[in-house]
Structure 1
Amino acid sequence: MEALGRFAEPSVLILTSLAGGEKHGYALIKDIEELADTVVGPGTLYAALSRLQERGLIEALPAEDRRRPYRITAAGAEALREYLQQARQISRVGLKRLQAWA
């Protein structure tokens, strides 16, 4: 989880979206909206893309017209996998503990 930094949520959403294939900014915003029922604004998106690129978790591809697509790297896929496995463990424990409240 360290690779994603303290701004994990937008990063996780972006990496999850890119795990499904290359996308440019607007396509990422729309996919994340469908995926997580949340809106990631352009400022948040491009700041997170910059951080992910600096960490080597995604890479920018050559621009197509005015659009610059991005894709997840092997390091990004591994960071996402680790994050999601830990989140699954936390979710499993949390749900089990909540059974006492039912």
Structure 2
Amino acid sequence: MPREQFQNLTEPMYYILISLIKERCGVDIMAEVEVISKGRVKVGPGTLYALLGRFEKENMIRETEVVGRKRSYIITEKGFEILQDEYKRLNTLVEDGKSFLGGDMDDI
């Protein structure tokens, strides 16, 4: 069985999709990713526009407006479902690790 392309999201993918719960243009997406991740994740234009193209091709986002060179996007129902699945997957990883890593790390 072939692996589904967006079965596991990278951090930039995850944060870009979260930022697109609200309609945003590219510059605003980059800024919002930094805010949501508290500065831990920064997405450059090359990465951003490559991922936006992939997301749009897979109907995970849709373009909502074009004004000159400025393009705005929003997440689709399919994209939101993929985002929710990733959120659940990440929570499962955390829960699974709690019994092994949740205590005092000096005991390891």
**TM-score between the two structures when normalised by the length of structure 2:** 0.82
Corresponding residue for residue 16 of structure 2: 14
Q: Summarize the alignment of residues 25-40 of structure 1 with structure 2, pairs less than 5 Å apart.
A: 25-36=26-37, 37=39, 38-40=41-43
Quickly say closer, same or farther: Cα 1:5–1:89, change in 2 above 3 A.
closer
Equivalent residues, number:
101
Stretches of structure 2 that go unaligned for 5 or more consecutive residues are none
Shift of 1:5: 5.5
Q: Deviations over 1:34-91 (max 9, x none)?
A: 1112210000000010111111100112213431100000000000001110111101
Distance 1:31 1:16, change over 3 A: same
Cα-Cα RMSD:
2.0
Q: How does 1:86-97 map to 2 (within 5 A)?
A: 86-97=89-100
Change (3 A) 1:2 1:101: farther
Question: What TM-score, normalized by structure 1, do the two folds share?
Answer: 0.87
| Greater strand content | 2
Larger-Rg structure: 2
Q: Residue 3 of structure 1 contacts residue 79 of structure 1 at CA under 8 Å; is this kept in 2?
A: no
1:6 is displaced (CA, Å) by 6.4
Which ranges of structure 1 fall in alignment gaps of 5 or more residues?
A: none
Three-state SS of the structure 1 residue aligned to 2:81 is: helix
Q: Which residue of 2 aligns with 1:55?
A: 58
The structure with the largest helix share of the pair is 1
Q: Distance in 1 between matches of 2:95 and 2:8?
A: 23
Aligned-pair identity (%): 31
Which amino acid in 1 is paired with 2:91?
A: R
